[in-house]
Structure 1
Amino acid sequence: MHGIHTIDTGFGRPSFDAAYLVVERGRGAFIDSGTTHSVPRFLDAIKAADLRPGDVDWVILTHVHLDHAGGAGELMKHLPHARLAVHPRGARHMIDPSVLIAGAAAVYGEQAVRRDYGEIVPVPKERVVEASDGFVVDLAGRALLCLDTPGHAKHHIAIHDERANAFFTGDIFGLSYREFDTAHGPFVIPTTSPVQFDPDEAHASIDRMMGYEPEAMYLTHYDRVEDVARLANDLREQIDAMVAIAGRHAGAPERELRIANEFAELYVGRAHRHGVTLSREEIVGLLKIDIRLNAQGIVVWLDRATRQP
């Protein structure tokens, strides 16, 4: 649809982590790069779209978390004419990914980073373009507008595709796995993973995107969703509920575990009201990693908020 091709990056499990190839008049742009392990899938996507690697002009990163950007350096080696567009706060991490790797290792562990993301290699500085708020990528006359959208991360952009009237949202418009689709449409939860979640910024970013009246959102986790006005409202409600949960356990022992348990109940309850027929155990199993990361991220935010005067 609209020359947009979904790429399952292979990260995690099937239909978990998406990137996109946008094709316009024989030219291509990737949105996000997956991991280094994903690169063969991107090269296959080029062939499937009847393009050659030299026809790809851009790799645009929504943010530099490794499931979105870990493969950028390796992918760029195969794209002789492409430039990399990334938030100004993320550019230095693509040129020198050492801090990025260390940060991921602190969250997931060094062994897991090597196993899950592969070798993370730098992008040459001369090929990196800082996509400040309002930067427009011109893809053969097709405008891809980059908007600063913090809330999940301070180095996050969402890309508005004028042709499709849709956003490539990275993680700022939450997670929507196809296993939770029902007759009522897609189901969504926020992602508050470490370390830069901010609820006020998340609300503002959602509102800003909705101001464009998009027809659809292309999520990293996972794929195209419509009924975006309802999903935006669902995200707003859950962000507020998650903040309230964190506040109730702010001074409690084992607060992260308590918060994670309440997040699980929040998501299970909403999923069942949405018509999801999976059991509680099945829902928690599919969301296990996200629940843990959301609890970790909101604890980091809670500590930061309590330190502020």
Structure 2
Amino acid sequence: MTNSHGIHVIDTGFVRPHLDAAYLIVEKGRGAFIDCGVNHSVPRLLAALADAGLAPGDVDWLILTHVHLDHAGGAGALMQQLPNARLVVHPRGARHMIDPSRLWAGATAVYGEAEMQRSYGQLVPVAAERVVEAPDGHAVELAGRRLVCLDTPGHARHHNAIHDPASGCVFSGDTFGVSYREFDTAQGPFIVPATSPSELDPPALHRSIDRLVALQPGAIYPTHFGRLEPVQRLAAQLHEQIDAMVAIAVAADCAARDARHAALRAGLRQLYVGRALRHGWSGGEDEAARLLAIDIELNAQGLGVWLDRRGQRPS
């Protein structure tokens, strides 16, 4: 999928169709990828490049919103195919691209070696001289087209959103939530906040969403999945849900660890499925819960980590 501003939406093939996107921006025969999926996604990105009439040597940038593996797991393998590209990443994430061993170890501890190889493939390091650290406001030029990195914590402390003034759009990574095309109805897209481990900060997430809205973008492109509008209405839904999720977490906080996680999962399932039904979803509660299962689990984990960190703060 593409639009008049040279923005190509690429399905990375991670887990299921229309779950995980990368974006290719084409300007005057030069290209920039935003996010890249996993190692297994690389052939899809190269095919999209060819479909756009570009060769690997025409790509100047791979810009990562953050280094979670569904966004950045294939970065090293993709960079091996792009001889002239440099990788742009938040300063907190740069070291993990140069030496991804800690990313691999942390994820393997959760998912196991076999699942890591099946879903992601072995992480490949990126040479330090090809990595560009992008603090807040850092801009890169794509054939004269400015792409501006905006520090947008809340989902993760190492998160940048990418503002593209030429199109009037923002590439939001996970800051502006997740929206799966299966839930589109006559009411428009359905959206859920992304509060996965381990750096959830609800007040910061509220501020980051407001910062993106203040740019008055015509549309938002989250990694999950594709172009979203109207921005103001979706932002209001995100704010409302973040507050509801915090309330669910606080209510569950007195329970023992296993019971707390179960309560978080149950509360999030009720919140998301209920919203989907009110949004016009007609596929049934169980199917909605199945499609949102990854987010229910990861968001419950993220809220649990946030509660633990919150409990350690001095009163």
TM-score category (smaller protein): over 0.9
- Structure 2 counterpart of 1:47: 50
Please show how residues 173-184 of structure 1 align to structure 2 within 5 Å.
Answer: 173-184=176-187
Give the length in aligned residue pairs.
309
- For 1:133-172, list aligned pairs within 5 A: 133-172=136-175
The alignment's TM-score, normalised by the length of structure 1, stands at 0.99
The amino acid across from 2:298 in the alignment is L
1:185-196 → structure 2 map (5 Å cutoff): 185-196=188-199
- 1:279 and 1:27 map into 2 onto residues whose CA distance is 45
Q: 2:308 aligns with which of 286, 303, 308?
A: 303
1:256 maps to 261
Q: What's the C-alpha RMSD, in Å, of the aligned pairs?
A: 0.7
Please give the TM-score of this superposition, normalised by the length of structure 2.
0.97
Output the CA distance in 2 between the equivalents of 1:192 and 1:132: 22
> Counterpart in 2 of 1:67?
70
**Which SS does the other structure have where 2:195 is aligned?**
coil
- The answer for the alignment partner of 2:60 in structure 1 is 57
Q: Which moved more, 1:272-281 or 1:154-163?
A: 272-281
Given residue 298 of structure 1, which amino acid in structure 2 is its aligned partner?
Answer: L
1:272 and 2:277 aligned? yes
1:237 to 236, 240, 262: 240
User: Which deviations, in whole Å up to 9, do the C-alpha atoms of 1:23-62 show, x marking residues without a partner?
Assistant: 0000000001110111111110110000111100000000
Point out the more displaced range, 102-111 or 59-68.
Answer: 102-111
Q: SS of the counterpart of 1:204?
A: helix
CA shift at 1:299, angstroms? 0.2
Alpha-carbon distance in structure 2 between the residues aligned to 1:241 and 1:30: 34
> Which of 289, 293, 302 lines up with 1:288 in the alignment?
293
Deviation at 1:108, TM superposition (A): 2.2
Q: Residue type matched to 2:17 in 1? A: P
Offset, 1:130: 0.2
SS of alignment partner, residue 223 of structure 1 = coil
Q: Distance in 1 between matches of 2:201 and 2:110?
A: 18
1:107 offset after TM fit, Å? Answer: 2.5
> Quick one: which amino acid aligns to residue 252 of structure 1?
A
**C-alpha distance in 2 between matches for 1:110 and 1:199:** 32
Structure 1 alignment gaps of length 5 or more: none
Identity %: 63
Structure 1 residue 251 displacement after superposition: 1.4
Runs of 4+ with deviation above 6 angstroms:
none
AA partner of residue 289 (structure 2): V
CA distance in 2, matches of 1:302, 1:113: 27
The whole-number CA distance in structure 2 between the counterparts of 1:110 and 1:231 is 37
**Distance in 1 (alpha carbons) for counterparts of 2:196 and 2:116:** 16
Deviations 1:184-228 (Å, cap 9, x if unpaired)?
110100011110111011001001011100110111111111111
SS at match of 2:227: strand
Aligned to 1:211: 214
Q: Distance in 1 between matches of 2:11 and 2:210?
A: 28
Deviations 1:229-262 (A, max 9, x none): 1110000000000000000010113101111111
- Secondary structure of the residue aligned to 2:283 is coil
